[in-house]
Every structure is written in C-alpha cells, then in structure tokens.
Structure 1
Amino acid sequence: MHDLPTHLWYSITSFGGAGLTLPLAIAIALWLALGYTWRMAAAWLVLLGAAIGVVTLTKLAFLGWGVGVRELDFTGLSGHAALSTAVYPVALFLLLLPARPAFRLGGVALGLVVGITVSFSRVVIDAHSPSEAITGCIVGAVTALMFVRWSWDAAPGRLSTVPVAVSLMMLTVGLHGVHLPTQRWVTHIALKVSGHERPFIRARWKASHNNRANAAPLSQTQNTLSAPVLPNERTERNV
C-alpha cells in the first residue's frame, strides 16, 4: 500500500482537507435539521467544533510558543486526520439511518477506514509525523462515535436517502482538491496572540534540543527557534 504512486497519496490526502470536509459537515448538519431534529444538527456541530478547537489549540501552542513533544516529533494534531475521521463516518451514518443497525454499523466502520487512510496518507507524503496523524485520527474518531452513539436510536426521519447521497457525493467530487489556507490563518493567530514575529518551525525546534544538549547559550537557542524558514526546509504543512 505504501508503494502507491505519490500523486495518488496526494489525491487521498485531499479528502481530509478543510475545503471539502467543512462543507460536508455543514451539509450533514442541514440534512439533520431538515430530516430529523435541530438538536441532532446542533449536537453534531458542537462535537465537531470541539474537535476543531482541540486541533487548533495544539497548533497555536506550537506555532506561538514551541509547545510540543520532541520525543514523539509532535507539534500539533493533524487536522486532515481529525476532520476525515469525524466527517466521513457521520456522513455514512446519516445516509444509513433509515437502514437496519447492521448496515449503519458497517457504514460507520467504512467511514472510519476512509479517515484512517487519509491519516496514513499524511505520514506518507511527509505532511505529519505518525504521532500527529494518530492523535488527530483518535480525536476525529471519538467525535464521530460520540455523535453516532447519541443519535443511534433517532426516530425515522423525513429524509429520502437519494437526495442526501446525491448532495454529499456532489460536494465530495466538486470540492475534492479545494484548498483553504488554514495553516496560514492559524499561524497568523498564533503570532498575534504570542506577540512573536516568527512562528516556531519543526526542524529548528528539534535542532534547538541538540543545541541545549551541547550547552549553547540561551540567546543562541532563542535565535535558532525564531529564525525564518529557509526555502529548502520542510515547513509545517496544511491543517
């Protein structure tokens, strides 16, 4: 599986982008409100908002203050992993809500497989470390499973499966590959809140650990942490 062409891995990772998953999440909320209850729609948005908040806070902590775990190469949860493992299981659950429990359970499992595949792709294309992809995947999966558990016994709604399926499929096809500059937005917020002129960068952040081990002066370490990104450095990638 790891030997798939690079362009295919980039295509897979695009299924976790905010430009696709956020519109899908909003569409899910609208269908829940129209076909079931506004409480279900609100619960879904609150849970997803909490997951996005956790992802954002970890990224702000690193970009603004250098808070991370060097031993795990962790600089913040993967947003692609969290969003994909949250949205796709719930989308399939919504489609299969009128069906028998076994089909609903199968749909949720398939959605989780999609999210896990997207999470794995983030590691393959060197966009995130394994720890970041795994933790993002866990947060997204917990979000989806909490909503599914809460909504499992929902009364049959007024929705026909066909329009829901068509609308979600059209969004998926139409918005696949659409990019939102989420990392730029988070970086801008981190700098505003922290008061720093430059964000912390993974490579220099890891290198600073070696500098301290070699008893480098504090001023030198600080300069290393806040130095600008060089063109040939791997930067922290999209949410």
Structure 2
Amino acid sequence: MPELPRHLWYLITSLGGAGVTLPLAIAIALWLALGYTWRMALGWLVLLGAAIGVVTVTKLAFLGWGVGVRELDFTGLSGHAALSTAVYPVALFVMLLPARPKVRAVGVALGLATGIAVGLSRVVVEAHSPSEAITGCFVGAVTALMFVRWAWDAEPGRLSATPVTVSLLTLMVALHGVRLPTQRWVTHIALKVSGHERPYIRARWKAGLYDQPNAVPLSRKQNAASAPPVSDERDV
C-alpha cells in the first residue's frame, strides 16, 4: 500500500461517502437536464440507480442470510468504491464537455483514478476487503463508462464549463465528510426482509460459527426477547 498518513486515507475515503456522491450525482442530472434533455439526465440516474441496486442486493444477501464468498472475504460490494468510480468520472466529463475529446478523456481517467483511490482507502482503513473494493470499483467504472459512451457525442456548447465546475466543486468541498447512516438503513431492511433478529457479522461468519447447529440468527417469533440488532459498523 502507498505510504500515506492514516488521516489522509480517511480524507480520501470520505470522498466516496453517499453524503457527497449522491448530491453530486443529482447535481449532474440537473445540469444535464438544463443543458441537454431530461432523457439524458434520467439515463444517468437510471444507470447509477442500477449500480446502487447491485451494491445493495449483495449487502442485503449477506446481512440477512449470510450469503458471501468466505475464501475471498466477500460480504458485499463496497458502496464507497462503486459510487466514487461512477460519479467522479461523469462529473469531470460534464465539466469538460466544452473541451476537446482528448481533454474529456483525461478527465474521465482522472475520475476513475479518484474512485480507485477511494476503493484502496477502504481496504487501508479496514472497512472492506480487497475483493469488495475491487468489485465495487468495477461496477462503478462500468456505470460511468456506459454513460460517457452514450453521451460522448453530445453537443459541447450547451453547457458553460465555469458554472458547472464551480457548482460541483463547491458541493464536493461543502459536503466532504458528511455521513449518511446507509449501513444502518441496509441492516434494518435486511432484518425486516429476512425475519432475523440480528444481522450476520463478518468475524463470526469467517470463523464458521454460523455453520454450527443453532448458530443462525433466530426469527423474531422464536427470539422475541433477544438483544437489539448488532451491526458490524462498516459503512456502505
């Protein structure tokens, strides 16, 4: 791993939080709708929503039913990695729409590099395993590149670079470090859907404790007096 102070890794990882990336994604959609068409804006949101859906399903599967790949320490895609590799390339692409194609391509590459840095930071701060960060980056990158390919030939003069750049950078700086309780939300949904009182926890799952008889979390009907849900405290 690159030798960086730990606080810098936390600054990088914060770039991928939903509190930053989701408002950026909405701002991108608004600029696309203003400068181009609602169809383009909706296309971007649908693609991003699909990526978020994939991340959420993998997390629900583990938290609710213990579905994962133990050999790879995989319990669900990293949401930080997926969101950052999806949003930042598209943000830079929209900022650079008036520029030459080569400049736009460089911007998209820098956005992907930012997302990969966030994915790496999730491993360094021990929030995710390498397999979770890599798959998150892959899903996010595919999302971004699909949109960029679709919108590549958009008429460049429809948006002015200055207001787009200023607004998106202002959002990113103002919201950096803002956290949304996404893991708590996903855990709550997983318990509601699965009917279990407690979510699956990585350490117990890796140790094979859920493979033992009666180790699987009990349903509410079977364990009404059990302790409140315990989270593994890993952010989406």
Task: Give the number of the structure whose residues are more often helix, by fraction.
Answer: 1
Question: What whole-Å deviation, never above 9, does each CA across 1:89-143 have from its counterpart, x for those lacking one?
Answer: 0000001111111001000000000000000000000000000000000000000
SS in structure 2 at match of 1:119: helix
2:216 aligns to what? 222
Q: In 2, distance between residues paired with 1:82 and 1:228?
A: 33
Q: In 1, distance between residues paired with 2:41 and 2:64?
A: 33
AA aligned to 2:172 is T
TM-score by length of 2: 0.92
SS in structure 2 at match of 1:177: coil
2:108 aligns to what? 108
Number of residue equivalences: 230
Q: In 1, distance between residues paired with 2:228 and 2:101?
A: 51
SS in structure 1 at match of 2:234: coil
Q: In 2, distance between residues paired with 1:228 and 1:123?
A: 30
Sort the Cα spacing of 1:195 and 1:8 in 2 relative to 1 into closer, same or farther, 3 A.
same
**1:238 to 2:232 alignment:** no
- Check the 8 A contact 2:97/2:159 in 1, yes or no: no
SS in structure 2 at match of 1:235: coil
Shift of 1:156: 2.8
**1:117 to 2:117 alignment:** yes
1:170 aligns to what? 170
Shift of 1:158: 2.6
User: Following superposition of structure 1 onto structure 2, how do residues 62-81 of structure 1 map, counting pairs within 5 Å?
Assistant: 62-81=62-81
SS in structure 2 at match of 1:222: coil
Shift of 1:228: 7.1
Percentage of pairs with the same residue: 77
- Check the 8 A contact 2:66/2:205 in 1, yes or no: yes
For the aligned residue pairs, the C-alpha RMSD in angstroms reads 2.1
**1:179 to 2:179 alignment:** yes
2:40 aligns to what? 40
**1:7 to 2:4 alignment:** no
Sort the Cα spacing of 1:228 and 1:142 in 2 relative to 1 into closer, same or farther, 3 A.
farther
Q: In 2, distance between residues paired with 1:3 and 1:229?
A: 40
Shift of 1:236: 4.4
AA aligned to 2:190 is A
Q: In 2, distance between residues paired with 1:101 and 1:223?
A: 54
Sort the Cα spacing of 1:228 and 1:202 in 2 relative to 1 into closer, same or farther, 3 A.
farther
Segments of structure 2 that go 5 or more residues without pairing to the other structure are: none
SS in structure 2 at match of 1:97: coil
Shift of 1:157: 4.2
Question: What whole-Å deviation, never above 9, does each CA across 1:198-226 have from its counterpart, x for those lacking one?
Answer: 000000011126x85xxx5x12x3369x9
Q: In 2, distance between residues paired with 1:122 and 1:20?
A: 16
TM-score by length of 1: 0.91
Sort the Cα spacing of 1:104 and 1:228 in 2 relative to 1 into closer, same or farther, 3 A.
farther
Kindly report structure 1 stretches of 4+ aligned residues shifted beyond 4 Å.
226-231
- Check the 8 A contact 2:99/2:156 in 1, yes or no: no
